[in-house]
């Protein structure tokens, strides 16, 4: 197991390098630069700015500079938020996005898992149809529609929760964004659990347990174990996406997470911010893919990594 | 994973404790267009940055609640007879937030700093009227020490100008004229803007800056007028989604916003009544026609395109009346001017305009068989989209075929500034000070950056030069009006609307006075429960 | 690649496909009621989106300046209370006041009184308005200062209301359907072509080639998707079709993995080995044996990818990076509607119903197909 993990870490490095390279050059090809206003800057001023941020060097040198600072764990200064470094921004934004994302994930697994299990046990009953209808709904309504509706219903009409704002992570402030984030995930998890659960229930192993007259709770536990494999492999990338924030939810609920940095960074041509976000998301994706593989081995004893 | 969870928990506990203690504080939750790029006043360029900086720093002259230019740190000023020398006397009780007195040399330091090209100030050109400023900023052989700003003694500052500038006092209210605390800039370099080390001389000091969330300012006890500052804490919150921001306002989470979705004005008025505020602003929204393109070279074509736009409808249907129909480049109500030179078709009825426009196009060689084709560029926002759609529909009535290109703002302005790859493009300009020169200079042929129309009329340039040399304000106004009339005849820019200030202002917030500058310093406001 | 693109289409329609499997699947799909209803619904949707914009009586880009943001109604516009203000507006342009306004059936009769003789050419304002037809003077009095005119009232229906510019939302919703559906199909098609070819080649050749090809897929997987899409918009913003071809070019990763997995098992089948022994070249084997047999999962995946692309397009619209005016898509309409949810909820409701029901249908079809093609259920 340990050598396997080590090997994965090593193989992640060239992948990361490739990603950094692709995005480094891609973002610099986009028209407009980080310091452009509607009005052109005085040549001298622009020259100075570019020198301060080392944009006057040849591209290939900038690339090396960026790589070497990245190796030291330094993401560089932000070009738009000029009072901050990318490290500062992530240090403030990541806890927000990760809080929201992990709670949403938790909600999705608990509720989605429960709904999916119920649906599987009561296949083709009304409960099954309700779950699958709800599931499809959660997948088909865009979150930028759900979010304002929640704001109006629960924020304005019922006044249970604030309409927006982070309020230092107060519980009341994060309920709505977490639910909006969780909805589509609940749907997916419920559908996947239902499908793999039905399959698991048909397997000889569970049939045997059933015929032995074991209590439902035991059967559910065994079936869930078998049914959780595909869900786990789905949740890997999903977790990476959730924990790194959602631009829609963070924008509508006015939350200071990192999900907005992608879009804002790209639109502001904040090169370092975009690069930092790319690296961060890539690391999350690779980490969770690795985690999935490890979990696989733990859940399914047949899987072995030599 | 566990450390950040712990940190969150501690933060949550701390907040609860803090809010418990500070229950008696008056907090003003203030919506703002966006986060500032920086809180270093010399490196900023936008109005949303100015709202924050105005609360933290006090310049020689300031805007009062009604947007009038009144004494700030300078309690008194004298202007020489030729209008080129200003002598300011500073208040004796002006202090920095760390207790240091505000000295004339602080302003000398600050103004030299912004002109120094090493600072990388984006908006230094606003202060070019100061002697040698332009030469210093453009590195044309003048050193920062040669700037026409001199601290005679601790309380006397002398500023010498290149030439008389009637709007100079107002220029000093701009964020570029704000002072920075020399000792902390010298000590911490660019880090002087961090909460905790930011030393300011205005009504508030910086306590916290969380990007995409809030900027928290607290009352500065050392401020000379602190006794009259009624709001203890201002929390600036950037607003990206206007509709969601309006909902936050409705829920009482914000006391004021810096904008609202204009196309929903009617619905907002129904829900929020007179908390929906609109007032004219010094700015105009226009379509620039690239005069270097073959088919847009002919002034008749440009006139025709301008004439037929139904500005009243756009103002009403798309902008909910928050922006007003524009028939001139200079907005009415501006200082140092008379009535703007309106386009001559202003009083014509829509049918007359349409007939005239068709005729002009025909004279220029376009018509059925050979329709005029125009490509219209805009930067993506909802209301821009709705506006250009309406314009294209108006153009269709005189047989003009329009195609659209929309891009993000950076791309849009990069194309306008650096390329010739556009025909017609939407743009806008908000005046930095109340003077017609600040609008008409857009069309000077050597204004490479802003003259999107690539307008080049020596007669226009000559008039602008003549106006700059004219000391008599009345005569100057007449000359500028001639220049504007010329521009309205040549029509390189099609004025469509005058900008408005759109704010949602809570009934609890007192002392907010709508004004053309859009400046609303917090120190003049109060909140009732 | 140009030659390669032909492969799957040919394979899908060609007689090579195992009849029994597909016939079998078809029977079972038809027996699945939800899937059947969904297919009918989808066909209906496609039909009205193709035909609809031509028969609603409005053009998708026609602006009715007097009907901006009006709510949906089953009865015709103009309403009673809109006529008087409209006539007054025309009056002010004639520099005259309307005195009597009568509506009988579809005809308006109004008398204008002005301080000076009224310029009759200005009566063209009647025709220009969206409410009336050409006006005819029936009576002149007081040396032309008093004018009685008759004009037909033009009745128009806006079943879904109009947008901020005054364009018929029903027509626009239907028109948007064309764009959204074709974007979904186009991007999916591109994704499948690339994914199937890439996956089958990688799986069939195996060994080091497979390793390198899959490593590349892994790299792309870790590349944040939104970044890619935003960069694509910045580059291809002008051309939406091109952009979605590009989106398809990003979305093929899953497809490649699925097809590769299938190929690995198909490769060991006797008929493939027989073909190899007979000396059929690699391309021939891929075309005749491998790709046709991977189509089951591909089709299922396709029904899931189409909704994903349509939702992606609506996400881009939310960011303001959607289709160019005067074109529109469901995503654009819905994000417009979401912003106007409190003032004009109908702008959100109707396009949403279209989008959600279509995605629903696609999902059910996907489920049905999966069940129908599931070998374990046979």
- CA nearest C69 in B: which residue? B317
Q: How far is B267 from chain A (nearest CA, A)?
A: 15
Four-point Cα dihedral B162, B165, B169, B170, nearest 10 = -120
Determine the distance from the C-alpha atom of residue B195 to the mean position of all C-alpha atoms in its chain, rounded to a whole number: 26
Determine the distance from the C-alpha atom of residue B519 to the mean position of all C-alpha atoms in its chain, rounded to a whole number: 10
| Mutate which: A21, A136, A138, A156, vs C, most C CBs within 10 A | A136
- CB pair distance less than 8 Å for C321 and B408: yes
> Average pLDDT of A218-229?
79
The three-state secondary structure class of B505 is strand
CB C229 within 8 A of CB C316: yes
Q: Which residue stretches of B339-492 are H helix?
A: 350-363, 382-397, 409-418, 437-440, 458-469, 473-490
Q: Out of A92, A99, A156, name the one closest to residue B251 (CB).
A: A156
Higher pLDDT: B505 or A208? It is B505
> Average pLDDT of B189-209?
92
- Phi, psi at residue B406, to the nearest 5°? -115, 140
- Which strands form C97-104's sheet, in the order they lie side by side? C97-104, C107-113, C146-152, C136-141
| Distance in angstroms (rounded) separating the CA atoms of residues A230 and A225 | 11
The three-state secondary structure class of B73 is coil
Q: Is B44 near chain A, with CB under 8 Å? A: no
Which residues lie closer than 8 Å to B11 by C-beta, 6 or more apart? A168, A169
Q: Is A52 near chain B, with CB under 8 Å? A: yes
Q: Write out chain B residues lying below 8 Å of C69, CB-based.
A: 263, 317
Q: Write out chain B residues lying below 8 Å of C316, CB-based.
A: none
- CB pair distance less than 8 Å for B317 and C324: no
Q: How far is C148 from chain A (nearest CA, A)?
A: 51
- CB pair distance less than 8 Å for C164 and B263: yes
Kindly state the tokens that stand for C9.
């289409």
Q: Is A137 near chain C, with CB under 8 Å? A: yes
> Average pLDDT of A294-304?
71
CB B329 within 8 A of CB B284: yes
Q: How far is C224 from chain A (nearest CA, A)?
A: 6
CB A24 within 8 A of CB A61: no
Which residues lie closer than 8 Å to B208 by C-beta, 6 or more apart? B195, B214, B215, B216
| Distance in angstroms (rounded) separating the CA atoms of residues B362 and B371 | 10
Q: Reply yes or no on whether the pLDDT at B14 is more than 60.
A: no
| Distance in angstroms (rounded) separating the CA atoms of residues B331 and B340 | 7
Other chains touching A, judged by 3 or more CB pairs under 8 Å: B, C
CA distances from A14 to A8, A20, A270, A280, B341 (A): 11, 10, 25, 15, 65
| Apex A243 CA angle, A240 and A249, nearest 5 | 120
DSSP per residue, B420-453 = ---SEEEEEEE-SSS-THHHHGGG-TT-TTT-TT
Residue for token digits 């694509």? C232
Nearest CA among C319, A258, A70, A262 for reference residue B210: A258
Encode pLDDT of A266-275 as tens digits: 888 889 998 9
Which residue stretches of chain C have pLDDT < 50? 1-18, 377-378
- CB pair distance less than 8 Å for C69 and B349: no
- CA nearest B241 in A: which residue? A252
| Apex C332 CA angle, C330 and C335, nearest 5 | 105
Q: Out of B271, B318, B406, name the one closest to residue C324 (CB).
A: B406
Q: Out of C223, C311, C338, name the one closest to residue A148 (CB).
A: C338
Nearest CA among C161, C183, C182 for reference residue C170: C161
CB B477 within 8 A of CB B337: yes
- CB pair distance less than 8 Å for A267 and B408: yes
Question: Euclidean distance between the first and final Cα of chain A, in Å?
Answer: 7
| Distance in angstroms (rounded) separating the CA atoms of residues A59 and C98 | 72
List the 299-358 stretch of B: residues with Cβ below 8 A of A.
none
| Distance in angstroms (rounded) separating the CA atoms of residues C96 and C146 | 9
- CA nearest C317 in A: which residue? A144
- Find out whether the peptide bond into C78 is cis, omega within 30 degrees of 0: yes
pLDDT over 70, % of chain B: 96
Q: How far is B259 from chain C (nearest CA, A)?
A: 14
Return the DSSP state at B524: G
Encode pLDDT of C130-180 as tens digits: 888 888 888 888 787 888 888 888 888 898 989 888 899 999 999 999 989
pTM over 0.95: no
Q: What is the pLDDT of residue C19?
A: 53
Beta bridge partners of B324: B498
| Apex C310 CA angle, C306 and C311, nearest 5 | 115
Q: Write out chain A residues lying below 8 Å of C235, CB-based.
A: 29-30
- CB pair distance less than 8 Å for B317 and C237: no
Which residues lie closer than 8 Å to B477 by C-beta, 6 or more apart? B336, B337, B338, B436
Encode pLDDT of A59-105 as tens digits: 899 999 999 999 898 998 998 888 899 999 999 999 999 999 999 99
Residue B205 parent element (H or E):
strand B204-210
Q: Which residue stretches of A35-125 are H helix?
A: 43-52, 59-71, 86-107, 113-121
Q: Reply yes or no on whether the pLDDT at B520 is more than 90.
A: yes
Neighbours of B418 (CB within 10 A): 15
Q: What is the pLDDT of residue C237?
A: 60
Beta bridge partners of B279: B501
| Distance in angstroms (rounded) separating the CA atoms of residues B85 and B78 | 8
- CB pair distance less than 8 Å for C231 and A144: no
The 3-class SS string of B279-341 reads EEEEEEEEEEECCCCHHHCCHHHHHHHHHCCCHHHHHHHHCCCCCEECCCCCCCCCCCCCCCC
List the 177-216 stretch of A: residues with Cβ below 8 A of C.
199
- CB pair distance less than 8 Å for B117 and A40: no
Q: Out of C222, C224, C360, name the one closest to residue A136 (CB).
A: C360
Encode pLDDT of B386-418 as tens digits: 899 999 999 998 999 999 888 888 888 888 888
Q: How far is A45 from chain C (nearest CA, A)?
A: 27
Phi-psi map region of B151: left, alpha, beta (phi>0 left; psi -120 to 50 alpha) = beta
Kindly state the tokens that stand for C37.
């209803």
Measured over the CA atoms of residue C62, residue C66, residue C70 and residue C75, the dihedral's sign is negative
Nearest CA among B214, B208, B194, B22 for reference residue A167: B214
Residue A302, judged by CB atoms within 10 A of its CB (0-12, 13-18, 19+), counts as exposed
Which residues lie closer than 8 Å to B370 by C-beta, 6 or more apart? none
Q: Out of A26, A277, A285, name the one closest to residue C222 (CB).
A: A285
CB C151 within 8 A of CB C177: no
- CB pair distance less than 8 Å for C360 and A277: no
- Quick one: pLDDT band at residue B300, thresholds 50, 70, 90? very high
Q: Is A158 near chain B, with CB under 8 Å? A: no
Q: How far is C320 from chain B (nearest CA, A)?
A: 6
- CB pair distance less than 8 Å for C164 and B392: no
Q: Which residue stretches of B89-233 are H helix?
A: 104-115, 133-137, 168-171, 182-188
- CB pair distance less than 8 Å for A15 and C338: no
| Distance in angstroms (rounded) separating the CA atoms of residues C291 and C284 | 10
| Mutate which: C326, C347, C348, vs B, most B CBs within 10 A | C326
Q: Reply yes or no on whether the pLDDT at B75 is more than 60.
A: yes
Encode pLDDT of B435-449 as tens digits: 999 999 999 998 877
Encode pLDDT of C308-332 as tens digits: 888 888 888 887 777 877 888 998 8
Residue C364 parent element (H or E):
helix C346-373
Other chains touching C, judged by 3 or more CB pairs under 8 Å: A, B
Q: Out of B119, B213, B250, name the one closest to residue A256 (CB).
A: B213
| Distance in angstroms (rounded) separating the CA atoms of residues C63 and C68 | 8
Which residues lie closer than 8 Å to A256 by C-beta, 6 or more apart? A92, A93, A96, A166, A250, B210, B211, B212, B213
| Mutate which: A27, A134, A145, vs C, most C CBs within 10 A | A145
Neighbours of C41 (CB within 10 A): 17
Q: How far is A279 from chain C (nearest CA, A)?
A: 9
Q: What is the pLDDT of residue C53?
A: 87
| Mutate which: B120, B422, B425, B450, vs A, most A CBs within 10 A | B120
The three-state secondary structure class of A19 is helix
Q: Reply yes or no on whether the pLDDT at B23 is more than 70.
A: no
Q: Write out chain B residues lying below 8 Å of A152, CB-based.
A: 247
CB B49 within 8 A of CB B57: no
- CB pair distance less than 8 Å for A266 and C231: yes
Q: Is A43 near chain B, with CB under 8 Å? A: yes
- Quick one: pLDDT band at residue B1, thresholds 50, 70, 90? very low
- Phi, psi at residue B363, to the nearest 5°? -60, -35
Q: Give the long-range contacts of residues B443-449, CB within 8 A, separation 24 or more.
A: B443/B329, B443/B487, B443/B492, B443/B493, B448/A40, B449/A39, B449/A40, B449/B417
| Distance in angstroms (rounded) separating the CA atoms of residues A219 and C192 | 40
Q: What is the pLDDT of residue B189?
A: 84
| Distance in angstroms (rounded) separating the CA atoms of residues C58 and C196 | 42
Lowest mean pLDDT of B43-52, B368-377, C97-106, C231-240, name the range: C231-240
Longest dimension (CA), chain A: 84
Q: Write out chain B residues lying below 8 Å of A98, CB-based.
A: 4
CA distances from B185 to A109, B198, B239 (A): 52, 9, 30
Q: Is C122 near chain B, with CB under 8 Å? A: yes
């Amino acid at each position: 197991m340990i050598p396997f993990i080590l090997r994965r870490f090593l193989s992640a490095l060239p992948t990361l390098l490739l990603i950094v390279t692709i995005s480094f050059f891609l973002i610099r090809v986009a028209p407009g630069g980080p310091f452009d206003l509607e009005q052109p800057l005085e040549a001298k001023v622009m020259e100075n700015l570019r020198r301060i941020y080392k944009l006057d060097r040849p591209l290939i040198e900038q690339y090396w500079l960026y790589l070497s600072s990245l190796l030291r764990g330094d993401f560089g200064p932000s070009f738009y938020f000029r009072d901050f470094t990318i490290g500062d921004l992530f240090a403030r934004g990541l806890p927000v996005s990760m809080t929201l994302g992990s709670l949403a994930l938790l909600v999705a697994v608990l509720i989605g898992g429960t709904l999916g299990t119920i649906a599987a046990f009561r296949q083709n009953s009304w409960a099954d149809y309700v779950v699958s209808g709800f599931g499809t709904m959660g997948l088909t309504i865009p979150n930028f529609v759900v979010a304002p509706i929640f704001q109006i219903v629960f924020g304005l009409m019922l006044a249970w929760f604030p309409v927006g704002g982070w309020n230092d992570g107060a519980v009341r402030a994060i309920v709505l964004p977490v639910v909006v984030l969780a909805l589509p995930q609940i749907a997916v998890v419920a559908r996947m659990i239902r499908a793999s659960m039905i399959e698991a229930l048909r397997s000889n192993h569970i049939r045997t347990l059933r015929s032995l007259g074991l209590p439902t709770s035991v059967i559910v536990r065994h079936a869930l174990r078998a049914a959780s494999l595909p869900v786990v492999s789905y949740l890997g990338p999903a977790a990476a996406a959730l924990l790194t924030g959602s631009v829609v939810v963070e924008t509508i609920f006015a939350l200071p997470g990192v999900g907005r940095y992608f879009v804002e960074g790209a639109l502001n041509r904040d090169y370092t911010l975009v690069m930092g976000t790319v690296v961060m998301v890539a690391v999350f994706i690779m980490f969770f893919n690795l985690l999935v593989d490890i979990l696989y081995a733990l859940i399914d004893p047949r899987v072995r990594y030599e | 994973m566990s450390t950040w969870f712990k940190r969150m928990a501690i933060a949550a506990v701390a907040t609860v404790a803090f809010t418990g203690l500070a229950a008696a504080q008056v907090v003003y939750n203030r919506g703002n267009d966006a986060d500032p790029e920086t809180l270093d006043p010399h490196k900023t360029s936008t109005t949303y940055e100015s709202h924050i900086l105005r609360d933290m720093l006090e310049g020689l002259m300031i805007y009062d609640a009604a947007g009038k230019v009144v004494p700030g740190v300078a309690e008194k000023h004298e202007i020489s007879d030729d209008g080129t020398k200003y002598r300011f006397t500073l208040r004796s009780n002006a202090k920095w937030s760390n207790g240091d007195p505000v000295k004339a040399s602080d302003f000398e330091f600050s103004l030299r700093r912004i002109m120094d090209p090493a600072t990388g100030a984006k908006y230094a050109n606003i202060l070019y009227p100061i002697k040698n400023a332009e030469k210093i900023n453009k590195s044309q052989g003048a050193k920062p020490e040669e700037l026409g700003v001199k601290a005679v003694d601790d309380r006397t500052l002398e500023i010498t100008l290149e030439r008389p500038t009637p709007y100079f006092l107002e220029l000093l209210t701009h964020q570029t004229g704000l002072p920075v605390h020399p000792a902390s800039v010298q000590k911490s370099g660019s880090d002087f803007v961090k909460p905790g080390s930011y030393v300011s001389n205005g009504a508030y000091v910086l306590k916290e800056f969380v990007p995409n969330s809030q900027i928290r300012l607290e009352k500065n006890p050392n401020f000379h007028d602190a006794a009259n500052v009624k709001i203890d804490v201002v929390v600036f919150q950037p607003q990206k989604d206007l509709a969601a921001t309006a909902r936050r306002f409705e829920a009482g989470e914000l006391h004021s916003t810096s904008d609202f979705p204009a196309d929903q004005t009617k619905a907002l008025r129904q829900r929020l009544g007179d908390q929906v505020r609109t007032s004219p602003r010094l700015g105009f929204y226009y379509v620039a026609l690239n005069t270097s393109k073959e088919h847009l070279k002919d002034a008749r074509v440009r006139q025709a395109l301008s004439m037929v736009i139904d500005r009243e409808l756009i103002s009403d249907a798309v902008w909910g009346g928050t922006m007003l129909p524009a028939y001139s480049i200079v907005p009415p109500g501006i200082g140092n001017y008379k009535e703007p030179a309106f386009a001559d078709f202003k009083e014509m009825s829509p049918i007359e305009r349409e007939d005239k426009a068709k005729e002009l196009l025909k004279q220029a060689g376009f018509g059925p068989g050979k329709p005029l084709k125009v490509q219209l560029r805009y930067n993506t926002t909802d209301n821009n989209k709705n506006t250009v759609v309406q314009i294209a529909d108006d153009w269709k009535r005189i047989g003009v075929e329009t195609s659209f290109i929309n891009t993000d703002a950076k791309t849009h302005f990069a194309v306008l500034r650096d390329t010739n790859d556009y025909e017609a493009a939407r743009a806008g300009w908000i005046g930095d000070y109340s003077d017609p020169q600040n609008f008409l200079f857009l069309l000077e042929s050597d204004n490479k950056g802003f003259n999107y129309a690539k307008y080049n009329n020596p007669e226009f340039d000559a008039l602008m030069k003549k106006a700059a040399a004219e000391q008599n304000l009345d005569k100057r106004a007449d000359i500028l009006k001639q220049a504007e009339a010329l521009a309205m005849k040549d029509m390189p820019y099609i004025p469509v609307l005058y900008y408005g200030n759109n704010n949602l202002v809570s009934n609890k917030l007192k002392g907010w006075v709508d004004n053309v500058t859009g400046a609303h310093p917090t120190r003049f406001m109060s909140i009732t429960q | 690649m140009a030659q390669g693109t032909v492969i799957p289409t040919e394979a899908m329609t060609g007689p090579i496909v195992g009849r029994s499997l597909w016939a079998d699947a078809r029977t079972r799909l038809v027996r699945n009621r939800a899937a059947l209803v969904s297919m009918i619904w989808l066909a209906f949707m496609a039909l009205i989106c193709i035909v609809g914009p031509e028969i609603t009586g409005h053009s998708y880009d026609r602006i009715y300046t007097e009907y901006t943001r009006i709510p949906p109604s089953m009865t015709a516009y103009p309403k009673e209370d809109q006529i008087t203000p409209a006539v007054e507006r025309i009056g002010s342009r004639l520099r005259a006041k309307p005195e009597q306004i009568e509506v009988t059936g579809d005809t308006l009769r109004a008398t204008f009184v002005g301080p000076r003789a009224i310029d009759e050419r200005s009566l063209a304002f009647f025709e220009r308005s969206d409410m009336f037809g050409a006006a005819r003077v029936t009576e002149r009095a007081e040396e032309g200062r008093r004018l009685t005119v008759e004009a037909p009232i033009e009745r128009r229906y806006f079943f879904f209301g109009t947008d901020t510019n005054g364009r018929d939302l029903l027509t626009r919703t239907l028109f948007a359907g064309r764009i959204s559906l074709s974007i979904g199909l186009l991007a999916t098609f591109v994704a499948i072509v690339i994914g199937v070819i890439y996956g089958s080649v990688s799986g069939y050749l195996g060994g080091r080639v497979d390793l390198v090809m899959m490593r590349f897929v892994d790299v792309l997987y870790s590349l944040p998707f939104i970044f890619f899409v935003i960069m694509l918009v910045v580059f291809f913003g002008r051309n939406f079709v091109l952009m979605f071809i590009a989106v398809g070019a990003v979305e093929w990763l899953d497809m490649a993995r699925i097809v590769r997995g299938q190929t690995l098992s198909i490769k060991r089948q006797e008929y493939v080995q027989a073909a190899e022994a007979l000396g059929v070249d690699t391309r021939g084997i891929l075309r005749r044996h491998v790709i046709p047999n991977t189509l089951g999962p591909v089709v299922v995946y396709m029904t899931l990818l189409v909704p994903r692309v349509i939702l992606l397009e609506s996400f881009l619209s939310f960011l303001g990076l959607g289709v160019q005016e005067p074109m529109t898509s469901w995503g654009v309409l819905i994000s417009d509607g979401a912003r106007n949810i409190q003032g004009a909820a109908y702008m959100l409701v109707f396009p949403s119903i279209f989008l959600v029901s279509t995605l629903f249908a696609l999902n059910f079809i996907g489920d049905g197909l999966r069940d129908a093609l599931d070998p374990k259920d046979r």
